[in-house]
Chain A
Amino acid sequence: MIYQGKQKIWSDYQKEIPDDHWYFVRSCIRQNFFPASEKMFSVITKDVLGKDIYETPYHTTCGGIAYHSDTIPQETVMTIVARQFALMTEAGYENYACSCITSFGNYAEILETWHEFPELEAKIREMLWKSCRREFKKPKYLAHTSDLIYKFRHEIASKAKFHLVDHATGEPLRVVEHIGCHYAKMFPHKGVGGAEYPCVLSGMIDSWGGQVIDYPERRHCCGYGFRQYHVKANRGYSVSNTHKKFESMEPYHPDMIITNCPGCPYFLDRWQYVISEMEGKTYGQNGYGIPVFTYEEVAGMVLGFDPWDLGLQLHQVAVEPLLEKIGIPYNPKTKYLGLDGKDIMKPGLPSVLKCC
């Protein structure tokens, strides 16, 4: 591969991301799947980097899951989003950062639709006023939280205690990056690096010492697909997509996967268990799987936070082999102890996939 060719395309799709004063909204399902990720984002940006990130307890879901699962019409989604923007306006911010990729796609789509159809925007303003007496201004900049971590990646790298290298041999780790479909595939110019070769995660990996792997199915969807998973009869389609990705990345022997979407890491992680039970095949070394992380967890790891404070115990695929490889110290005894040392019980172990 000619690296300069990819660099040139990335440079064609650059996105303006302001430095400070962001209004932050959380994701509905991320709290359950990756408990510490959104907290880590706040900790890193506020405490470590000293930025102004504002969050209000009154914000709601963006309605993206329901909209993409075809259960609510577009006007409902637009009114929910309008209320979110109203809360942002009341707090006095104009930069909007959302934690979920589907949200990002949803907000981007709604802002584009209002741009093309101003009469629809006027109608939504009226509906918001009628339903909850709020008014809103459209955000000036919309970014995903991974865009912000991408922007501050060099500062994080300078404060990092660990790097994405094998501490025994000094070799950079082989990292697969997976970007949620709604990030750049809908509106290529809204993502850093465009749709074919988005560089938001590969930029982070490069500055934190890892080596990005380019494999044939790199841009393939993980298969979550809302209705493809939520309706049980369709789940075969979802797992087939992830299976295709793993079959394609296997010859490259990756050490870890980093993603920036709520659904993708969940499914890339859990489907490894399902595939191991169905086909008896695992993709990591020695019968383990390939650990999957969100970018906040990786940022927390390189900055030296305790792995169990990052919520890594909730991952299906064991992360301990990777922690040992990087040289991050961890205490196996405290893995299943919650806050105040309370025992939160151990999960059962799968039959094929090796877990700790």
Chain B
Amino acid sequence: MDFGFSISPSSTINLDKVDFTLYDRLCEIEPDAKKCMACGSCSATCTAGPWTGMSVRKVILGIQRGKESEAAKMLKGCMLCGKCTMVCPRGINTRHLILSLCRIYGEGEK
């Protein structure tokens, strides 16, 4: 029966149901991904950021919260310029992190 309205899903992130397989796989290839403290230096210097919404910080956060499809979409905007790697205060090789993620996503598609 159509009532004209339906039950809306909750926007709460249910951390019990987050699937960490992609994050764990990333940490195997690039263990420094765990060091990220979400300071935002990468997003601040990102060349593509203001135009494509790309932000390494948001990509890592998305994977940690189970929002993998959004993270994958954002990665397409990266130009691999390497400015984020230059400024990361924790010394994470963000370029390697992005390329590893693309490779993992590619593995999934196969």
For A, the interface residue count at a CB cutoff of 8 angstroms equals: 16
Complex Cα–Cα for A222 and B9 (A): 16
Digit string of B1-43 for contact with A (CB within 8 Å is 1, else 0)? 1011111111000000000000000000000000000000000
Q: Which one of A49-57, A169-177, A180-188, A230-238 is at the B interface?
A: A230-238
Q: Which residues in window 207-263 of A have CB below 8 A to B?
A: 232-237, 239-240, 243-244
Complex Cα–Cα for A166 and B87 (A): 69
Chain A positions within 8 Å of B8 at CB level: 236-237, 240
Complex Cα–Cα for A244 and B89 (A): 42
Q: Is the CB of B7 within 8 A of A235?
A: no
A350 to chain B, nearest CB (A): 9
Complex Cα–Cα for A274 and B1 (A): 9
Q: Is the CB of B1 within 8 A of A236?
A: no
B6 to chain A, nearest CB (A): 5
Complex Cα–Cα for A207 and B60 (A): 54
Q: B5: which of A233, A243, A275, A277 is its contact (CB, 8 Å)?
A: A233
B15 to chain A, nearest CB (A): 15
A282 to chain B, nearest CB (A): 15
For B, the interface residue count at a CB cutoff of 8 angstroms equals: 9
A239 to chain B, nearest CB (A): 6
Q: Is the CB of B4 within 8 A of A232?
A: yes
Residue of B3, B4, B6, B7 with most partner-chain A CB within 10 A: B7
Complex Cα–Cα for A274 and B5 (A): 10
Chain B positions within 8 Å of A232 at CB level: 4-5
Residue of B3, B5, B6, B9 with most partner-chain A CB within 10 A: B5
Q: Is the CB of B10 within 8 A of A236?
A: no
B3 to chain A, nearest CB (A): 6
Q: B7: which of A233, A234, A236 is its contact (CB, 8 Å)?
A: A236
Q: Is the CB of A240 within 8 A of B4?
A: no
Chain A positions within 8 Å of B9 at CB level: 240
Q: Is the CB of A239 within 8 A of B10?
A: no
Complex Cα–Cα for A275 and B9 (A): 14
A250 to chain B, nearest CB (A): 15
Chain B positions within 8 Å of A351 at CB level: 1
Chain A positions within 8 Å of B6 at CB level: 236, 278
- Does A279 make an interface contact (CB < 8 A)? yes
Q: Is the CB of A239 within 8 A of B1?
A: no
A180 to chain B, nearest CB (A): 22
Q: Is the CB of A244 within 8 A of B4?
A: no
A308 to chain B, nearest CB (A): 29
Q: Is the CB of A279 within 8 A of B7?
A: yes
Complex Cα–Cα for A234 and B5 (A): 8
Chain B positions within 8 Å of A274 at CB level: 3
Complex Cα–Cα for A143 and B29 (A): 64
Chain A positions within 8 Å of B5 at CB level: 232-236, 239
Chain B positions within 8 Å of A275 at CB level: 7
Complex Cα–Cα for A239 and B10 (A): 12
Q: Is the CB of B1 within 8 A of A243?
A: no
Complex Cα–Cα for A57 and B19 (A): 62
Complex Cα–Cα for A237 and B5 (A): 9
Q: Is the CB of A243 within 8 A of B4?
A: no
A87 to chain B, nearest CB (A): 40
Q: Which residues in window 26-74 of B have CB below 8 A to A?
A: none
Which residues of chain A have a CB within 8 Å of any CB of chain B? 232-237, 239-240, 243-244, 274-275, 277-279, 351
Which residues of chain B have a CB within 8 Å of any CB of chain A? 1, 3-10
- 13 A-B residue pairs with Cβ-Cβ distance under 8 Å, sorted by A, are A232-B4, A235-B4, A235-B5, A236-B5, A236-B7, A236-B8, A239-B7, A240-B7, A240-B9, A243-B7, A244-B10, A278-B3, A279-B7
